[in-house]
Structure 1
């Protein structure tokens, strides 16, 4: 017998699954660092961060439900087979072995283990830690039929309990008022837009596209079969799961802002988290943070490697799910040993390229019933968005590349002719124009077709 809808308990289990897969490495360190950079403007900055870090992931899951897609490929397929395949590979490479998945090991190591080892021993320490991390990740991810109960019933409650302890101590004995702290120059007048761009670093907008298939599979395992029922259950569960993430983001950003009363601006949020945990809980706090970071990042790693392996196995069925899983875990282990700083530096330009394409695709998916999923609307919008996305990628390139004369000339051109480019939103006007042009072409085609039918009948 199949159920028509999920009961409240099962909705919470799926919500916890979504929470556990999305909340990982960047979700811990970037909100705290945002709070330190925004200082007294932490609330304005966090509102921008919540849009890109929470609202866009929610919209991504809704887009998959509305279009009844099984993942990134199906959602992007109206643009064309080759584009959909290339987009799938780029997103999974970013979320998988090149950036996000290695980061799930380097972040907990950097903030929980590295401070207690000498510089000479950190290379070997990271090697051993990341090997154990990805071995455990592979072991549980290979048993994907148990992923819902594993993440939803065991690891998430343990993580939330650990994080609650830190928040409780900070709220009971705050270091000072968050609104009375110094504001860095970029956040004096552009706190909202910079907060929005910082949300890219969580990669949750991209991850939600990849996790769609995992969420849908978990919902169907509870007996739901009709697409409309699956879509409704996914939407409800997503709202619960992402609301929890939003509350934690606000708490972490507030922590970062208050920390300025006692600590100076750090290089990243991981350092600040370690300082706060030690300040409030001493040695126990150090152990707490190491455990907290490892648990949350491992749940995220499991979601990432499972989504990667499921999607690629669907596209290339001759290669087994476990083969893709082993490849992902091994390559992620190798990249992780390049270090956190290198991973962040090289991921930023890629995110500046992919996020505009992902955001416009998500909006097109949600609004697709208005234009009957017409491929022409998808193609015109995406084609125009590709132009500023490419220039955004160049503008965010690491210094050695960005200083090349050719790249400097291209960036200068974009700064002069692309609206909002200097704020990181060069894609916005192009995307809006693309959607308007595409929708107008769709209406024109519809009207032309209707006129031809009338003439034929007459």
Structure 2
């Protein structure tokens, strides 16, 4: 009889394939353009800005993967489960819709088109070009994620290696013929001192959406790891954690290259309004007209890998919790909805995604940290409830302040923002949730350990009761 307890020992190559898949899922449109833009606006203060950016764009995504591993979760739902089924379900839906059909997934198509393809087309073709490009883009994402267990091969073995070869070719050329000295470039007003540079870089890291994506990708990564023959939760968690460290470490290195490259480029170009323009300027400088084709290929490949992960994670989680539709039906619905949203354009998507990120990121950071440290307090729901509860109001206020002017500059929006800035420490830095979250955590841990002491005291008291039986 076959011994089902034995599992295959993964080779180094298999670990690399899983890590490559995870890198490809994480590294999308924002990961390529936001750090380059950060380097441009930070100038000579690129290092403190980079350190802040790495916290939210590398450390938090790594912790999100470790959180999935630590609680043996299969997705974002399990991370929120200590707060109850309804909270977990609502949190899952908000995360998936934010990084899914409302903002994150459509952005993968619009960035690759706007930055890579649109410069090759006449202005009059842009609207129709985006329609056609996004249709083909999401059709490809649907086909590549159609077979759940084939995602590892599609992303880890093919798309991501192609992207990395192209990207490091660009780095080789750019650093062999540097545009300028990054430490001699002027910084914009928001980055003129190291402290502000760090915090602004920290907030820029929100735009990658990777901490949210790390939780959502959990189900995709776990499915892929089990496809390698691993069944035990401990084994799956170990492989997921190791692959996460490898993938996010590599992403951090790429970010540093991009940030320094962005800072060097200021010697030739004015800081752009967004990273897509900056990337286009750099590639055109080095490669001329051919650079547009390289840029279009680079962006399309990296954005497609992320889109595959996002549509697959959405379909997997929604099929699991709403089985009225099959995985393939949810996949088709997600791809079609993302196609529709993509055609609103990149500026609209970014403008309305920022408030949701300001709202969700505090919850995400709190739940990730609670999951990673849960063994210290036995995953006590009281600790979760108080910490998340105290985070809620500051997160809502940050969301209101970040909305486009139609909301943030209304009388209600201005009043709420004034209240936030007056009563919450660090609110002006976008970190008003930190102190309330810490207060909630301290209270939660206090209740938890006090309850443990009472229970221990009651148990001791029962143990020393006299035996009245004759």
TM-score interval for Structure 1 and Structure 2 normalised by the shorter chain: over 0.9
Give, in angstroms, the shift of residue 4 of structure 1.
5.7
Paired residues of 1:4 and 1:229 also in contact (CA < 8 A): no
Number of the residue aligned with 2:165: 161
**C-alpha contact (below 8 Å) 1:5/1:229 kept by paired residues:** no
Q: Is the 8 A contact 2:311 2:335 kept in 1?
A: yes
Q: C-alpha displacement at 1:232, in angstroms?
A: 1.4
The answer to whether 1:452 aligns with 2:436 is: no
Gaps of 5+ in 1: none
Q: Indicate conservation of the 8 Å contact 1:381/1:435, yes or no.
A: yes
1:19 corresponds to which of 8, 17, 23? 23
Q: Using the TM superposition, give the Cα deviation of residue 323 of structure 1 relative to its aligned residue in structure 2, in angstroms.
A: 1.1
Matched, 1:253 2:259: yes
Q: 1:293 aligns with which of 284, 288, 299?
A: 299
Query: Which residue in the other structure is 2:97 paired with?
Result: 93
| 1:304 Cα deviation from its structure 2 partner | 0.2
Q: Is 1:323 paired with 2:326?
A: no
More divergent stretch after superposition (118-127 vs 376-385): 118-127
Q: Distance in 2 between matches of 1:432 and 1:77?
A: 21
Is contact 2:120–2:292 with CA below 8 Å preserved after alignment? Answer: no
Equivalent residue for 1:194? 200
Q: How does 1:122-141 map to 2 (within 5 A)?
A: 122-141=126-145
Residue 276, structure 1, aligned to residue 282, structure 2: yes
Is the Cα contact below 8 Å between 2:359 and 2:395 reproduced in 1?
A: yes
Deviations 1:345-373 (A, max 9, x none): 00001000000000000000011000011
Instruction: Give the whole-Å Cα distance in 2 for the aligned partners of 1:192 and 1:177.
Output: 20
For residue 211 of structure 2, what is the aligned residue in structure 1? 205
- Separation of aligned partners in 1, 2:17 and 2:44: 37
The CA RMSD over aligned residues, in Å, is 1.0
Could you say which residue in structure 2 is the equivalent of 1:55? 59
1:83 alignment partner, one of 79, 87, 96: 87
State how far apart, in whole Å, the 1-side matches of 2:340 and 2:320 are: 25
* Cα distance in 2 between the residues matched to 1:144 and 1:450: 48
Instruction: Give the C-alpha shift of residue 223 in structure 1.
Output: 1.8
Instruction: State the 1:226 CA deviation.
Output: 2.0
Instruction: Give the equivalent residue in structure 2 for 1:223.
Output: 229
Alpha-carbon distance change, 386 to 5 in structure 1, aligned in 2, over 3 angstroms: farther
Q: How far apart, CA to CA, are the structure 1 residues paired with 2:324 and 2:422?
A: 49
Secondary structure at 2:359 match in 1: helix
Instruction: Using the TM superposition, name which of 141-150 and 25-34 deviates more.
Output: 141-150
Per-residue CA distance 1:424-443 (angstroms, 9 max, x = gap) = 11111111111111011000
Going from structure 1 to structure 2, the CA distance change for 1:443 and 1:5 (only over 3 Å counts) comes to farther
1:104-119 pair list within 5 angstroms: 104-119=108-123
Alignment of 1:357-436 (within 5 A): 357-436=363-442
Pairs aligned (count): 458
Deviation at 1:117, TM superposition (A): 2.3
Alignment partner of 1:113: what SS? helix
Q: Report the Cα distance in structure 2 between the residues aligned to 1:437 and 1:287, rounded to whole angstroms.
A: 56
* 1:233 counterpart (233, 236, 239): 239
- Tell me, in whole angstroms, the C-alpha distance in 1 between the residues paired with 2:392 and 2:69: 25
**3-state SS of the aligned residue for 2:373?**
helix
Query: Which residue number in structure 2 is paired with residue 7 of structure 1?
Result: 11
Paired with 1:393 and 1:197, the residues of 2 have a C-alpha distance of: 13
C-alpha distance in 1 between matches for 2:432 and 2:366: 13
Q: C-alpha separation between the residues in 1 aligned to 2:123 and 2:456?
A: 72
Q: What's the offset of the Cα at 1:5?
A: 4.2
Q: Whole-Å Cα distance in 1 between the matches of residues 83 and 76 of structure 2? A: 12
Gaps of 5+ in 2: 466-470
Aligned-pair distance for 1:43? 1.3
What does residue 318 of structure 2 align with? 312
Q: Is the 8 A contact 2:149 2:223 kept in 1?
A: no
Task: Give distance in 2, aligned partners of 1:340 and 1:254.
Answer: 25
Number of the residue aligned with 1:33: 37
Q: 1 CA distance for matches of 2:297 and 2:176? A: 22
- State the alpha-carbon separation in 2 of the partners of residues 125 and 238 from structure 1: 37
The CA distance in 2 between the partners of 1:410 and 1:401, in whole Å, is 11
Report SS of the residue matched to 2:218.
helix
CA contact (8 A) 1:5 1:233 kept: no
Q: Match of 2:468?
A: none
Could you say which residue in structure 1 is the equivalent of 2:342?
Answer: 336
Whole-Å separation in 2 of the counterparts to 1:225 and 1:241:
22
Counterpart residue number, 1:67:
71
Structure having the higher Rg: 2
8 Å contact kept, 2:148–2:223: no
